[in-house]
Amino acid sequence: AIYTLFSDRNRQMRTGKPMMHGTEREDPERTPDQNGPDRTGPECKKSLWPYLMLILGALSLIQATLTLPGIAGIVLTMGMAVDSNVLIFERIREELRRGRGVRDAMKAGYSRAISTIMDANLTTLIASILLYIFGSGPVRGFSVTLGIGIITSLFTAILFTRFLIVLWINAKKPKTLVI
């Protein structure tokens, strides 16, 4: 890691260009104003922290004991939250390829992805309710964290991530999005 840091710094000093790290990409086929930070990845990551805080807050509110099946439910719903964001941003990418503007692509992407997200999450929520009704012990703990996780992942994927993206679009007013 230290070698990489110094070699990147040396490369930056030789070329005079800042190094592209993490979520920033440089594509030679794009014009210079289109090369820039990929804002969707950081917004997805930012939405996972409130998700985690909401689910842990809900579990502490009902005084649930966090067991291994409960942790498995949290991990599963965290993956579902990431999947929801991937679906949304893939739909936005499709709309951008069709030639829509940034705002229109975002609105259309969210409206096209919401039915798929709701279908997947409601199906899992029904399974979680059935596990709670027919299960006992650790299975109930898994179903409780699964149910709470689904509700919070829906909130963070649909409302919170959209809120962050809209704030960024209103502040920066980008002409294109790099997704």
| pLDDT per residue as tens digits for the range 58-104 | 999 999 888 999 999 999 999 998 899 889 989 999 999 998 988 99
By the 10 Å C-beta count (0-12 exposed, 13-18 middle, 19+ buried), 33 is classed as exposed
Residue ranges, the chain, pLDDT below 70: 1-44, 179
pTM > 0.75: yes or no = no
Q: Which pLDDT does position 26 carry in this prediction?
A: 47
Helix axes 40-61, 138-154, angle to 10 degrees: 140
Q: In the prediction, which pLDDT does 56 show?
A: 92
To which H or E segment does residue 25 belong? strand 24-25
Q: Using CA atoms in the order 57, 125, 117, 69, what is the torsion angle rounded to 10 degrees? A: 60
